[in-house]
Every structure is written in C-alpha cells, then in structure tokens.
C-alpha cells in the first residue's frame, strides 16, 4: 500500500487547505494511505506527532478555511544536510514513499534537492547505523510532486499560483474601501502591496481598480518619473477626479535599482511648493491582510484540481520520471518539469536585479504564454 504525504511550506496562501483536502481524499480514494506533515519541512525534520496519518473526515471543512491548517514554517535546518538526513529517516520510519509539497519556488527547490540526494541520504542512514539496509530497501526511489502555493504569482510556467487571485481580490476590496474615504476628503493614497520581486499583484490591482499610477519591479520608471506621475495625476484631477490612488509594489525600483518608497511618492503628491500638487496624502501598507482570509472560488478550484492531479502524478511516476510540478496553462491542469520553471523564475529575478528590464519583461512574456 502506497503512503503519500502532503505538506505546505514557505508563506501560507489561500487555497493551500483545498490542496491538503484534495490530496488526502484522492489518496484514500485510490487505495493509498494519506499523511500530513505539519509545520512544513520542520515537521519532516522533527518527525514524531508532526507526521500524522489522515482519515477522510479529518479534512472536512478545509475548503472554507484561510491560511494552512497543517501549518507552515521557513525551516533553516532542512537547508543543511544533517536536517535532510533526519527528514529522510522520518520518511522511512513512517513508511512514506511519495511527497506532495505546496509552496513557493524556494520550498520546491528544496524538495528537488531532497529527491536528488535521496539515495545518498539513505546510504548515510545505513552507514551510520541509524537504519538497517533492510529497513531502507523498499524506499529506493522518492517521488516528489510540487504545487505552487503563493500569493505572488511569481513562478514561471504556470498562469496562476494557488492564492494569487484571493490576494488580488482582497487588495481590490481594500482599495475600494480606501477610495470611499479618499473621495470624501479629495485625498491621495499611496497603497503598498506585496509580491516580493514580482509586480503581478500591483499591476493587476491597478487594472482592476482603475488606479492613477502603478509602480512594478519589472517595468521601472524612467529618471523623470516624478514629472510623469505628477502630470498623470494633474490630468486626472483636471477631469474632475476627487481621489488619487497610486499602487506601489513592495519590490518596485527605479532604473538604477533604487527602491521606490511610498514616502517618496507621498512627498511628491503632497508637495506644496510652486507647481506642486499639494494633495492631502496618506500611505496605506496593506501587509498581511492580503495573504489572510478565505480563498476565492478560483483558488479553491485550482487547489482541488491540482491536488487530485498531484496524486495521479506520484502514482504514475517511475524512477526515470523528472520531478514535476502541477501548473495551469490556458485553463488546463498540466504537469511540467519543476526545475526548469524554478530556473526560469530565477532568471527573471536576476534580470531585474541586473537592471536588464527589457529582458525581464520578455522572459515574463514567454513564461506566461508558454
Ligand atoms: O511570498 C509571499 C509574501 O507574502 C510576499 O509577498 C512578501 O514579500 C513575503 O511573503 C512576506 O513574508 P513574511 O510573511 O515572512 O513577512
């Protein structure tokens, strides 16, 4: 009987609970034992009651809960070999031979490393007398499948990561609230949104709320961004707009790689000197409200369909199969090579870091249309 474990890792995202529910129930439906690893990689390293077998009814009600009910952690120990040796030992002791991980690119890279080191981890466990050769014998190959859970929508090769549409909806809802008070006072608001190195949330929130100006990392503003932004805001005010909304991604930079801060933008909008806009301006950093709360229908659907596909993928995998992750491309749930996606994602971040913005944009274009 195959034993399949699921865990969530890295920052939580809405829809992760749908993944856990789908994996547990699909595994049971397909005649396997289902396990949850609590607290991400920390649970794998520590073992004990952080690795639990799950029954069908234990994931009841998971679809409508936010965050991740099985916990997550950013675990440093797993990034060192002794941590991975302990993790391998706990897998064998629990009889687990397949692992489904829902997390961001860092968590998925860690998973692939674990898989590629697997034979040598088992060897070490035997040579150090922690396990016997007969104990490890049935676990020669480790199957791993990744699911991308992140609000940032920053992984190459998939159109949407699990959680990004919930965060986008939350941002739009918050911007709507802010707009009501902004219009009442004829004020300007600078709203900082999450996304790490990716501008997807900021850009799409700008489109969905009709913001006046948006700053994103992949398309940094020119040297004369002060004049450009002020000209746009002035024009919109001249049309009779009583509110000004500027959305800034937390990773936004100018062309020289200097961070664009909400304070800088506020100072410009509020500038009372001659020719300045002199707008009564406030800053709102949305923070973790973007990540919390229940998942929108899309993320529940995505987490469920991808969870089902992940179980099928581990059951069909052979020792020769490349580690895959489950993506959505043009509305179809598909399996794709994990490390290719991680490498492509890193090259976008690198291009932004090296200020090769046109390259970053064209890489993003390929990634989203691929
Ligand atoms: O990756 C998800 C994310 O919410 C990013 O948008 C943000 O930069 C980061 O995590 C915040 O991390 P933490 O919750 O550890 O402060």
Residue 152 falls in the annotated catalytic set: yes
Residue 63 has pLDDT above 90, yes or no: yes
pLDDT of residue 364: 64
For atom 13 of ligand 1, which residue has the closest CA? 11
Looking from the CA of residue 194, the nearest atom of ligand 1 is 6
| Strand stretches in the chain, DSSP E | 3-8, 33-37, 51-53, 98-103, 143-148, 188-193, 213-215, 244-249, 281-285, 324-329, 332-337
Kindly state the helix (H) or strand (E) to which residue 257 belongs, with its residue range.
none
Q: Which of 12, 97, 112, 152 is catalytic?
A: 152
Q: What is the DSSP string of 144-176?
A: EEEEEB-SS---TT-S--BTHHHHHHHHHHHHH
For atom 8 of ligand 1, which residue has the closest CA? 196
| Collapsed DSSP state (helix, strand, coil) of residue 55 | coil
Render pLDDT for 116-140 as a digit per residue (tens, 0 to 9).
999 999 999 999 999 999 999 999 9
Kindly state the helix (H) or strand (E) to which residue 141 belongs, with its residue range.
none
pLDDT of residue 87: 97
Half-sphere exposure for 226 (CA within 13 Å, toward CB)? 11
Q: What is the sign, positive or negative, of the torsion defined by CA atoms of 10, 15, 18, 23?
A: negative
Residue 283 has pLDDT above 60, yes or no: yes
Residue 367 has pLDDT above 60, yes or no: no
Please give the distance, rounded to the nearest whole angstrom, from the Cα atom of residue 101 to the centre of ligand 1.
18
Gap between the Cα atoms of 34 and 50, Å rounded: 14
Looking from the CA of residue 290, the nearest atom of ligand 1 is 4
Please give the distance, rounded to the nearest whole angstrom, from the Cα atom of residue 291 to the centre of ligand 1.
8
Looking from the CA of residue 74, the nearest atom of ligand 1 is 15
Render pLDDT for 82-114 as a digit per residue (tens, 0 to 9).
999 999 999 999 999 999 999 998 899 899 899
Gap between the Cα atoms of 113 and 120, Å rounded: 12
Q: What is the DSSP string of 186-237?
A: T-EEEEEE--TT--HHHHHHHHHHT-SEEE-SSS-B-TTHHHHHHHHHHHHH
Q: Which of 292, 326, 316, 293 is nearest to 103 (CA)?
A: 326
pLDDT of residue 351: 78
- The complex scores an ipTM of 0.97
Gap between the Cα atoms of 207 and 66, Å rounded: 26
pLDDT > 70: what percent of the chain?
98
pLDDT of residue 366: 59
pLDDT of residue 99: 97
Query: Binning pLDDT at 50, 70 and 90, where does residue 261 land?
Result: very high
Render pLDDT for 301-339 as a digit per residue (tens, 0 to 9).
999 999 999 999 999 998 888 889 999 999 999 999 998
- Is any atom of ligand 1 closer than 6 Å to the C-beta of 152? yes
Instruction: Say which range, 36-45, 299-308, 358-367, has the weakest mean pLDDT.
Output: 358-367
């Amino acid at each position: 009987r195959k034993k399949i474990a699921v865990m969530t890792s890295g920052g939580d995202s809405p829809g992760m609970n749908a993944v856990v529910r789908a994996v547990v129930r699909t595994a049971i439906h397909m005649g396997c034992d289902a396990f949850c690893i609590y607290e991400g990689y920390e649970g794998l390293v520590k073992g004990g009651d952080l690795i639990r077998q799950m029954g069908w009814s234990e994931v009841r009600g998971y679809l409508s809960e936010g965050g991740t009910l099985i916990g997550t952690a950013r675990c440093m120990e797993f990034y060192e070999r002794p941590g991975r040796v302990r993790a391998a030992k706990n897998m064998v002791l629990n009889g687990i031979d397949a692992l489904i991980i829902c997390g961001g690119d860092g968590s998925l890279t860690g998973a692939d490393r674990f898989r590629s080191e697997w034979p040598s981890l088992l060897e070490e466990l035997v040579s150090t007398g922690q396990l016997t050769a007969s104990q490890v014998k049935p676990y020669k190959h480790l199957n791993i499948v990744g699911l991308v859970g992140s609000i940032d929508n920053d992984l190459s090769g998939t159109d949407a990561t699990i959680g990004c549409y919930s965060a986008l909806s939350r941002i739009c809802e918050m911007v709507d609230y802010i707009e009501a008070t902004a219009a009442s006072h004829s004020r300007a608001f600078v709203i900082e949104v999450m996304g790490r190195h990716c501008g997807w949330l900021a850009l799409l929130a700008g489109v969905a709320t009709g913001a006046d100006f948006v700053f994103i990392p992949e398309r940094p503003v020119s040297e004369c961004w002060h004049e450009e932004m002020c000209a746009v805001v002035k024009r919109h005010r001249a049309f009779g707009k009583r509110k000004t909304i500027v959305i800034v991604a937390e990773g936004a930079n100018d062309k020289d790689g200097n961070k664009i801060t909400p304070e800088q933008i506020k100072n410009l909008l509020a500038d009372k000197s001659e020719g300045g806009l002199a707008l009564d301006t406030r800053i709102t950093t949305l923070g973790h409200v973007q990540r919390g709360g229940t998942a929108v229908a899309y993320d529940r659907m995505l987490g469920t369909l991808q969870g089902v596909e992940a179980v099928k993928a581990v059951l069909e995998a052979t020792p020769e199969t490349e580690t895959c992750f489950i993506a959505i491309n043009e509305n179809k749930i598909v399996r794709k090579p994990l490390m290719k996606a991680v490498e492509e994602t890193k090259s976008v971040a690198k291009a932004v870091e090296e200020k090769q913005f046109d390259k970053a944009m064209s890489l993003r274009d390929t990634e989203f249309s691929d």
